Amino acid sequence: MSPEIMSTFVALAVTIMILALIFAILNLARSFRTKRDVRKAYHKARSRFYFGIFMIAFAVDQVFLFPTLVTYIIVIVLLFFGILNLTYGYKASKYFKGNLPIENKAWEEFEQKKHN
């Protein structure tokens, strides 16, 4: 592989890593700030989704930077856990996103009872 193509892949992987880490931290912070349980679980699931993307991008970056047998073994482990986080985060966020309107309705009813 030519050095120009390899450096492009590395730069793309680093960009994806940075963006995924920012979104993971942002969603984790949102989960700590909210008081609603379903919304908290939704943001934690989204955080796991983005962390899975980060792990996969990191593994791809390591393959291009250090092509050794030890790196390949570590990359396989990172890819496994990255794909697990990605799929769990996607399924969980999809599930909790469907329950957000139910929680919003219950929260509004709670607020109305609280003010009455």
Which band of pLDDT confidence, cut at 50, 70 and 90, is reported for residue 90?
very high
Q: Are 14 and 60 in contact (CB under 8 A)?
A: no
For the chain, the straight-line distance linking the first and the last C-alpha, in angstroms and rounded, comes to 70
pTM metric for this prediction:
0.87
CA separation (Å) from 101 to 84, 96, 104, 105?
Answer: 27, 10, 5, 6
What is the SS3 assignment for 108?
helix
Please provide the average confidence, as pLDDT, over all residues in the chain: 91
Please state the length of the chain: 116
Whether the predicted pLDDT of 25 surpasses 90: yes
The pLDDT value given to residue 7: 86
